[in-house]
Chain A
Amino acid sequence: MVFSSNVFLLYFLPLFLICYFVCPKKFRNYVILLFSIVFYAYGAPDFILYLLGSTVASFYLVKAMRKTGKPGLKKLYCALAIIISLGLLVYYKYANFLIDNINALIGLFGANAVRMAKVLLPIGISFFTFQSITYVIDTYRGNNEPMDKLTDYIVYIMMFPQLIAGPIVRYCDIESEIRHRKYSSAEFLQGFNRFVIGLSKKILIADVIGFQVDKLLAGDLAIMDSGTAWITIAAYTMQLYFDFAGYSDMAIGLGKIMGFHFPENFDNPYNSASITEFWRRWHMTLGAFMRNYLYIPLGGNRCSKRRMYFNLWVVFLLSGLWHGASWNFVIWGAYHGLWLVLERMGLKKVYERIGKAPSVIITFIIAMVGWSIFRIENLHDAFTFIGRLFAFDFSSFSINADTQFYTTLIVALIFSFIALFPFGKKLQDIVYYREHTLTGTIVFWLIAVFMLLFCLGALNAVGFSPFIYFRF
């Protein structure tokens, strides 16, 4: 089930809210559990048992790990829990990719291809696998106590707001809220507003732009003029951001309604003055995961420079692979890793010298070129497209697009860069985080209700599309 669907907005959400708030506080986790199972099973009935099975297995392995006094056995349980989670992720997500590459390789030597039925990808697997890993490792490290109740643990892994596309919530971040949380009307209303903001980002911006991007990229990329190519990739850059940030807003908003505080996932990423900063602002929970559970264990900064560069590059290579089992994602990861290494080697000093505005523009261009590799799966096409970006051929520039596309793209660009200015930062603060006076609350609530109805209209006037980040 997706948030921007009729079934979620008209059936699931109202029923959930009624059941959740009518139920006594001590039973509310069960309500979340029940609705989360329905949420996942509705869209992916084939995988619900797999999800429940792997969750139960990791719960009991962690419990056994905590109980045992022997360090060797403890390590074994920890490794086993991680291997089960990662093993399933590798199987479901990368089996097809591995087989295809093995076949391509052995095909060079004339050997027969290995045959295997195509493996279907359980939706959200990358997200709940990572959450499960944070639980295992943090408990192993002694950062937190394991959960007493299996149901509470399943709630942590399967909680529907963040089950499908994050944010990746570390166990220690919401451990106490799972056991006991406070409810406040102000937070409920803030959460509702945040949910509607996310919904609007998805339906009114990402989907409108995405429709045109798909059309543009379906054409012959080899003859695309540079103007069209830049507009296309700028549009995709906006589509991806508003799609994913919209989903995160909805997840955070729903969490607030329920009394949870999920970590922020985006902080105006396109305002970054370097790729290093970009990764501190884009998909922040994935960045934190990679830093805590991969980069630091590999040695992090506390090693030789050469080793540090290698660590950085490997982390980004794997981060790319996490996004999808395809070479374009690997290359996209490597591309970002390369820029990070270059920045550490001295590029950052150049940025500091040229000032904020040029650095932001350069970083934005680097990110856009990266998104070309990310979006166009066929590598040959991706490089052809990048070639057209830098061909500087504006002779036949024309986009047969409607005003709605251009208006939306301009609005998206304004929203993306508004926080570069003090008034924009203040505005974001007021809209997202600040607790309002009663009048302010009512005004924001009325706007949110109107926008919800407007989104419903827009959703049904033009159809809907699934979130981009679901497939990761």
Chain B
Amino acid sequence: MQITAFKKMNGLYKKILCIVTTVLLSLLFVQTTWHPFTYLKLKNDPQKAHKPELTFTNYCKGSFQSQVDEYLKENYATRAICIRTVNQYNYWFDNKKTCTGFMLPGKDNWMYYRPGVLDYYGKEGPTHFKTDFELRNYIDNQVDMLNELRGILRNDYGIELLSFIAPDKPFIYPEHLPDMERDTTMVNAGDYFAQRFAETDFPNIDMKPWYKAIADTSQRLLFMPMDSHWQYASVFGFDSLFRLMNSLNDFGIPQMKINGIKTSRYKGRQDDEATLNLLFKIPNHTPLYTADISVISDSTSRKPKVLFVGDSFIFAYEWLIPKKELTSYYENWFYYDNVYKGFNKAKYKLKDINKLRSVLNADFIVVYSVGYQWYHGTRGFVEDVLSAIKDPYQVEVAKTMNRIESDEEWMQKIREKAQDKGVSVERMLELDAQWVVEHKNK
């Protein structure tokens, strides 16, 4: 009797388990399709897939099916927890190698930006160029163009163009890198740019050897173990940069003075660990430092207008440097895509602004990047500006735009016109400048 009852109960529980299985799978379906529950997102998740469009042609070609797969890959239920679990497993058991995201964990819980590691091991070049000759040829051309542009800017407009090769963490602290086989087939882009700049007397600062020398003697770490970005030590880079700028034309830029390095109260900006998307946080006990900086100026000092063209090294300038005491205006062309103008960082897309006007508005133009970014050269900057500056019409329009901008009354009219026509102020300014130039000689 008891055995029969037990068997019945057993059967009932198993039936319940079957129902739970079906419900569980159905919940996955419901969540994937309609997302009724919000759940923790993954950090730096590059969600790019669009919702698939079902048409007969798409379906027959198979493109609908591949779109569905791509879309589901990025939007399925429990994605965050599933991927974090897999990452945690890989982190614990598989030499920390296949974690998703941009970061690559090295030894002793150090984090590195993936392309930087590949660059250190000579593997980044072959992803951009077929041969060493092709890479060298590309860099030679870039340097030639930069020199030509520098000549024009310096001689015709009194603007200085210079470059800055920012330090890469893997080159400064290679001892914590994950092990990889080295590829020696190609030259390192950052190194070859530095060499070519030196050979052609192009003003450049290569921070890599500098940082390496400091790292070997300094008691404090120049990079935080769990962050790939530059911390307090970047002030040395900016100090050198401003000194170089001053030496080029005795502009009279106020001088930075580094009074000392102190421990920061903030733990922030060591957050690259989060991009590993693990289940459990890796404990971090390394202190974060900050630099105590003052600026020395006198009545002869002049604050320049600077255009920065490069990558995220500029953020260190924004966080750590008293920029208003050093520069009167600065503009940042971030990855030659987004533009941040002025201290309030008004955001534009590069394609929506007149590039030449920004160039001619500056006293100094600094082209900078970390080593592995130099495989992209100047990302089109030198080509675009060189072509524009050789066109008298474009130069005239750019100059006129800058002239109009300094006339507040005229600018007010432009703002009103822009509102009426539903275009941006920048575009309206350009249209007005074009009209002026075109009607000037009539």
A-to-B contact residues, CB < 8 Å: 5-7, 9-11, 13-15, 17-18, 21, 42-43, 45-46, 185-186, 188-189, 192, 400, 402-404, 407, 437-438, 441-442, 445, 449, 453-454, 456-458, 460-463
Contacts and interface: CB of A to CB of B under 8 A. Distances in A.
A192 B21 CA distance: 8
Given A192-B21, A449-B24, A460 B79 contact: yes
A196 B108 CA distance: 35
A441 B81 CA distance: 25
Nearest to B277: A461
A42 B65 contact: yes
Contact of B86 (A10, A43, A457, A463): A457
B95 A457 contact: no
A323 to B, nearest CB: 25
Nearest to A464: B69
For the complex of A and B, the 4 pairs showing the least CB-CB separation, nearest first, are A457-B82, A6-B72, A185-B14, A457-B86
Nearest to A398: B181
Contacts of A404: 90, 94-95, 97-98
B98 A438 contact: no
B354 interface: no
B32 interface: yes
A442 B84 CA distance: 25
Interface string B68-88: 110011001111011111110
A13 B17 contact: no
A396 to B, nearest CB: 13
Contact of A10 (B10, B77, B90, B94): B77
Given A185-B15, A457-B86, A18 B94 contact: no
A11 B52 CA distance: 14
A463 to B, nearest CB: 8
A68 to B, nearest CB: 41
The winner among B18, B32, B33 for most chain A CB atoms within 10 A is: B18
B322 interface: no
Contacts of A11: 29, 32-33
19 contacts: A10-B72, A13-B25, A14-B26, A17-B22, A18-B22, A43-B65, A45-B62, A185-B15, A188-B18, A188-B21, A189-B14, A403-B94, A403-B97, A404-B94, A442-B17, A456-B76, A456-B78, A456-B82, A460-B79
B213 interface: no
B48 to A, nearest CB: 14
A199 to B, nearest CB: 13
Given A45-B60, A453-B81, 20 more contacts: A6-B68, A6-B69, A6-B73, A10-B29, A18-B22, A18-B26, A45-B62, A185-B11, A192-B21, A404-B95, A404-B98, A407-B93, A437-B10, A438-B10, A442-B13, A442-B17, A449-B24, A454-B82, A456-B78, A463-B73
A407 B94 contact: yes
Contacts of B89: 454
Given A13-B25, A402-B94, A6 B76 contact: yes
Nearest to A435: B14
A215 B153 CA distance: 50
Contacts of B198: none
A46 B60 contact: yes
The winner among B29, B78, B84, B89 for most chain A CB atoms within 10 A is: B29
B59 interface: yes
B409 to A, nearest CB: 58
A43 B62 CA distance: 8
Contacts of A189: 14, 17-18, 21
A5 B65 CA distance: 11
B85 A14 contact: no
A404 B87 CA distance: 12
A14 B76 CA distance: 14
Interface in B155-175: none
A186 B16 CA distance: 11
Interface string B28-72: 110011000000000000000000000000011010010011001
Contacts of A458: 86
Nearest to A449: B24
A40 to B, nearest CB: 13
Contact of B100 (A14, A437, A438, A461): A461
A461 B98 contact: yes
A404 to B, nearest CB: 4
Contacts of B32: 10-11
A462 B29 CA distance: 21
B72 A7 contact: yes
A460 B73 contact: yes
A10 B29 CA distance: 5
Nearest to B22: A17
A3 to B, nearest CB: 13
B57 to A, nearest CB: 11
B188 to A, nearest CB: 20
